[in-house]
Structure 1
Amino acid sequence: MKKSACIEMIFTEVDFYNRFKLAKEAGFTNIEFWSWDDKDLDRIKALCEEYGLTVASFSGDKDFSLVDMSHQSAYIDYVNQSIQAAQKLDCKNLVIHSNSLGEGGIVVNHYEEKSNYEKFGAMVSTLTKLATIAEEAGITLVLEALNTEEDHVGNFLAYTRDAVTAIKCVASPNIKILYDIYHMQLMEGKVINIIHENVEHIGYIHVADAPGRLEPGTGEINYTNVFKALSDVNYDGYIGFELMPSHDSMDVAKGLIALF
């Protein structure tokens, strides 16, 4: 398992571009962030080279929704741009979502006028078209379900089973799920069972404790047992620490490195 620090949430005491150095000093060799088109990719590339860091993932979508068929062409065009950005940074994973997210992760459109069948069908249709593109580019698109209890009210994709069903319909080795343990603890629990049942479909994992989205040990999730379960099923992908430190970022980050 490879540890990745989400520098959108960790080391926020300093400017974004100064967080690369701090991530390295904490012991990380992988970092991730959210949007890419508001950042200087050349500078990110240079900083990664300077500090021996790999970009593990960033967001591949933005203003468009998988569940809206009228967005299909624009969604695919934007993912293509994201793939080009990923190739520039030698990043192998792009995070995608069912709905467009605005400032603070607010779901832009709940699509209440559309049935769940219509939303699911649109999502699978667009993912199917993206599969060949991702395979040819050597990029994995990881589809993330989000909690609708606290952070992303109105998001269509809110359960692991639905994300897994969607990618099974597509049946591509380059379309997998991002299993965010914080989000899914709030929605469904049963973390260890879900890991055992779905490990072949998991392409990426995000970690934060619940409630609060702070570091492991601050909430109700037994991460000692969760990490053991991941080891038991031979998960060898990324563990992205997408969380808010409860105190000094460097202290928390060094603690994350020591977790496993």
Structure 2
Amino acid sequence: MKRRKFVKNSIALGSTITLAASQSNLTVAKDKTAENKIEKHKFNLKYAPHFGMFTNHSGKDLLDQLQFMSEVGFTALEDNGMPRRSVEDQKKIGKKMEQLGMEMGVFVAYANFNEVTFAGNNKDAREGVLKNIRSAVEVAKRCNAKWMTVVPGAYDKKLHWDYQTANCVELLKRCSDILEPHGLVMVLEPLNWHANHPGVFLTKMPQSYMICKAVNSPSCKILDDLYHQQITEGNLIPNIDMSWDEIAYFQVGDNPGRKEPTTGEINYNNVFKHIHKKGFNGIVGMEHGNSQSGKEGELAVIEAYKKSDAFL
């Protein structure tokens, strides 16, 4: 499942927020009967579902979805498509999360999979990136976000790789200058070139680590998407250790299939145990689909995280 499809689906599934306070818990209450009660679970890590993941239980209203996520134990949300939502909806989501004690995970501040942007010399393209970052600051304020995803575009087939890296570092420094005064953090996401995003510039953890070290800003860190890195290079835990001081955020999805943990080859119980032991206090984004449809599939997702989180 590609990020663009995630964004499209999540917005389509939750395009409207109901204003009536009396409706905010109606759908959730349907599964709170004695025979269908879903007990609230206390997770060790801050797992963040996305809109659309539990609509068979909660309905499509965004605030009801947040309510359900909170009531089953999730303490964070991520929403790639937040910048495409109305200003009004961004504020309502932020307010509802504050009421529930939930944290906002990443939204996509800039992602280009096909054009040369960060790695190239095109002035207009680079100015377009900076415009997006300035806009993302305002989005973050409305929904109480701290982190935002940045995908640095495609690589330039006609330019030496080292020049491309230098171009990328320079533009990231300019982005960091925008974000630092607000305490915001862009997280760079290396993507796999094999299954989802051929031609992208940023693909591996060592590459991401080197770039973040060169930028040398608290506003430029790594998003370690373990689904992508399992495909690209594997060696998940050693790469986590070697890149640790530059990692600010994780995303997960099992491989193959990009569904919830326990459906593929990644031992997420060991991975989650490892990052918890290292003291990770950030957010783990659930950027994947459900392996089964309907309410059964949604319950399977919840159970998969309970199982993978059971390490104490």
TM range (shorter): 0.7 to 0.9
Q: Return the index of the structure with the highest Cα Rg.
A: 2
Note the alpha carbon deviations across 1:54-109, whole angstroms, 9 max, x for none: 2121111146732233222221121011011101211110110111xxxxxxxxx5
TM-aligned CA deviation for residue 51 of structure 1:
4.0
Equivalent position of 2:16 in the other structure: none
Q: Within the alignment, does 1:67 sit opposite 2:115 as a pair?
A: no
Out of 99, 102, 105, the residue aligned to residue 53 of structure 1 is 102
| RMSD over aligned Cα atoms | 2.1
Q: 2 CA distance for matches of 1:137 and 1:117?
A: 31
Q: 1 CA distance for matches of 2:177 and 2:83?
A: 23
Aligned partner of residue 49 in structure 2, secondary structure:
strand
Q: 2 CA distance for matches of 1:228 and 1:46?
A: 32
Note the alpha carbon deviations across 1:202-221, whole angstroms, 9 max, x for none: 00001111111111111111
Equivalent position of 1:5 in the other structure: 49
Note the alpha carbon deviations across 1:230-253, whole angstroms, 9 max, x for none: 123222221111111112453134
Q: 2 CA distance for matches of 1:45 and 1:230?
A: 27
TM-aligned CA deviation for residue 134 of structure 1:
1.8
Higher RCO, Cα 8 Å, sep 6+: 1
Summarize the alignment of residues 1-260 of structure 1 with structure 2, pairs less than 5 Å apart. 1-7=45-51, 10-11=53-54, 14-15=59-60, 17=62, 18-40=64-86, 41-49=90-98, 51-62=100-111, 65-70=117-122, 71-99=125-153, 111-247=156-292, 248-258=296-306, 259-260=308-309
The AA in structure 1 aligned to 2:236 is V
TM-aligned CA deviation for residue 26 of structure 1:
2.8
Q: 2 CA distance for matches of 1:165 and 1:229?
A: 23
Q: 1 CA distance for matches of 2:83 and 2:245?
A: 31
TM-aligned CA deviation for residue 120 of structure 1:
1.5
Query: 5+ unaligned residues in a row in structure 1: which ranges?
Result: 100-108
Aligned partner of residue 81 in structure 1, secondary structure:
helix
Equivalent position of 1:102 in the other structure: none
Query: 5+ unaligned residues in a row in structure 2: which ranges?
Result: 1-44
Instruction: Give the paired residue count.
Output: 250
Q: 1 CA distance for matches of 2:297 and 2:73?
A: 13
Q: TM-score, normalised by structure 2?
A: 0.74
The AA in structure 2 aligned to 1:95 is T
- Tell me if the contact between 2:155 and 2:164 (Cα under 8 Å) persists in the aligned partners: no
Aligned partner of residue 69 in structure 1, secondary structure:
coil
Q: 1:25 to 1:249 in 2, by over 3 A?
A: farther
Q: 2 CA distance for matches of 1:53 and 1:236?
A: 14
Note the alpha carbon deviations across 1:147-185, whole angstroms, 9 max, x for none: 111111111111111111101101112211000100000
Q: 2 CA distance for matches of 1:149 and 1:225?
A: 25
